[in-house]
Amino acid sequence: MMERNSELMEKIVSLCKRRGFVFQGSEIYGGLAGVFDFGPRGVELMNNIKQSWWKANVYDKENYFGLDSGMFKHPKVWDASGHTSGFSDPLAECKNCNARIRVDKELEKVGVTADEKMSEVEINKLFDSKREEIKCPNCGQKNFSEARAFNLLVKSNLGDFTSQGTDPVYLPGEACQGIYLNFKNILNTMSPKLPFGVAQINKAFRNEISPRNFLFRTREFEQADTQLFVKPNENKAAYEAIKEDRWNWYLSLGIKEENLRWSQHENLVFYCKEAWDIEYNYPTGFDEMEGIHDRSDYDLTQHMKHSGVDLNYTDPETNEKYIPWILETSMGLGRVFLAVLADAYHEEEMDGSTRTVLKLHKDLAPVRVAVSPLLKNKPQLVEKAREVFTMLKKEFGNVAWDDNGNVGKRYRRQDEIGTPHCVVIDFETLGEEDAKLKDTVTIRNRDTGEQERVHIDTLVEYLK
Ligand code: GAP
């Protein structure tokens, strides 16, 4: 395993840029902090992660439904959810260089945990007691303003033609609200019985005070959420089962178990009764990748109160009416993407030199298999290679044609983007050297570097 440090982070960021995985947003204008663009390889890897998640959370389950809600929501949604009043981070400014810090994160660095529910007065008391130990990360001075609660919701002017900014339509601070807003629609159209779940992948936006660590803390990101609706007080066993299920999903992606750990929240956010995080051992150390939250009846009760619409569930057996409780899983796809890369990234000796290789699970790799003719100036080799390429492309879709440089260089290039197999069409494929080898190809394994000869007729089977 590669050592976790800032050097590993720099290597991953550099590989992402060099090989078309991730680019800084608006790069040609100098970049936009906290926003990233996923390039041709990145979008494939991300789509593969999403597909795996969707399969595990919708197709492999009997009682989960998919959803894709609109991002913009009625302004009242964020009052009901508690975000307009309670979704803030404590912000202070350095009086010397004007850099902004998140006071709770700086307090954490000196061993103090700030409760998310603390008032401005309470957090300032804590901050004052530690001011001598907290340095500005930009200029090193210790001269800060008071901490103030800074709301993280991002405003838009959607539908506001007056430019007065009253009652703004916010961008979503969390993706899950769309699920609560559609609870009644799902009851009416799908007639589900409790317990049932809804799964959704959607964007979230937060005015993060200090976006940092590449994809870890961004201002625009995607969340993959499930909300399981259960009978009141029937949350405990379901919560434990969900925790186990989510842990196993990460293992199914090939993530090493030693790089995962559980962390329970001592200080709960306003909507939570119980919260556990699955943390990953990022290049910067263990930190949150996914939150698993027992939200009890908080969300549906709030939306019922603020909308005036009855959100009770009628039990088909007893005719009893009640508000179901909600168990949530919420993961940031950027954080999972970064974890997958950090886990897969290796530098190792092979054939007398050091290679960089992404040992990605074959179902996640942006390129499933690369095909090349041994020599690109031999028409017979190229023609045969094109035949194999077309056949594999029909089967797998994400197949690369690679005829640049010598075969060794092609292998190294494909190693760097995590391609599990490379297929080479050579003179033996044409049957020129040994008739028995006609229509066989060389197939090279990314992780071992071993090469085998496989008949074209069995190639798809072999790769599957
Ligand atoms: N609906 C619950 C919710 O949003 P959260 O713990 O605030 O809970 C869930 O967020 C997940 O979203 C986190 O575990 C993390 O993976 C991801 N996430 C949160 N803020 C993020 C940010 N600024 N950048 C990237 N991912 C973020």
Q: For residue 165, what pLDDT is reported?
A: 78
pLDDT in tens, 23-77: 999 999 999 999 999 999 999 999 999 999 999 999 999 999 999 999 999 999 9
C-alpha distances in Å from residue 74, one per residue of 163, 177, 306, 379, 400: 18, 11, 11, 62, 45
pLDDT at 1 (0 to 100): 86
| Ligand 1 close to Cβ of residue 206 (< 6 A) | yes
Residue 13 has which token pair?
Answer: 């960021």
Residue 271's pLDDT band, with cuts at 50, 70 and 90, is: confident
Band of pLDDT at residue 266, cut at 50, 70 and 90: confident
Mean local confidence (pLDDT), 309-328: 97
**pLDDT for the residue 363:** 96
Please say if the pLDDT value at position 376 is more than 90.
yes
Residue 11 has pLDDT above 90, yes or no: yes
Residue among 172, 179, 235, 202 at smallest CA distance from 64: 179
Residue 167 has pLDDT above 90, yes or no: no
- pTM, whole model, 2 decimals? 0.95
Q: Whose CA is nearest to atom 19 of ligand 1?
A: 332
Hey, what's the torsion of the CAs at 428, 429, 431, 435, to 10 degrees? 80
Query: Rounded distance, CA 27 to CA 174, Å?
Result: 26
Residue 81 has pLDDT above 80, yes or no: yes
Predicted pLDDT at 164: 80
| Rounded Cα–Cα distance for residues 323 and 329 (Å) | 19
Residue 367: how many other CB atoms lie within 10 Å: 22
How far, in Å, is the centroid of ligand 1 from the Cα of 212?
Answer: 14
Q: Is the pLDDT of residue 308 over 80?
A: yes
Buried b (16+ CB within 10 A) or exposed e, 102-115: bbbbbbeeeeeebe
* CA of residue 172 to ligand 1 center, whole Å: 12
Q: Residue 150's closest CA among 88, 206, 200?
A: 88
Tokens of 443: 């197939």
- pLDDT confidence of residue 193: 96
Is the CB–ligand 1 distance for residue 420 below 6 Å?
Answer: no
Q: Rounded to an integer, what distance in angstroms lies between the CA atom of residue 325 and that of residue 390?
A: 51
pLDDT at residue 12, rounded to an integer? 98
Q: What's residue 56's pLDDT?
A: 98
What value does the mean pLDDT take over residues 412-436? 95
pLDDT at 121 over 80: yes
Closest residue to atom 7 of ligand 1, CA basis: 174
Q: How far is ligand 1, taken at its centre, from the CA of residue 337, in Å?
A: 14
- Give me ligand 1 centre to Cα 360, in Å: 24
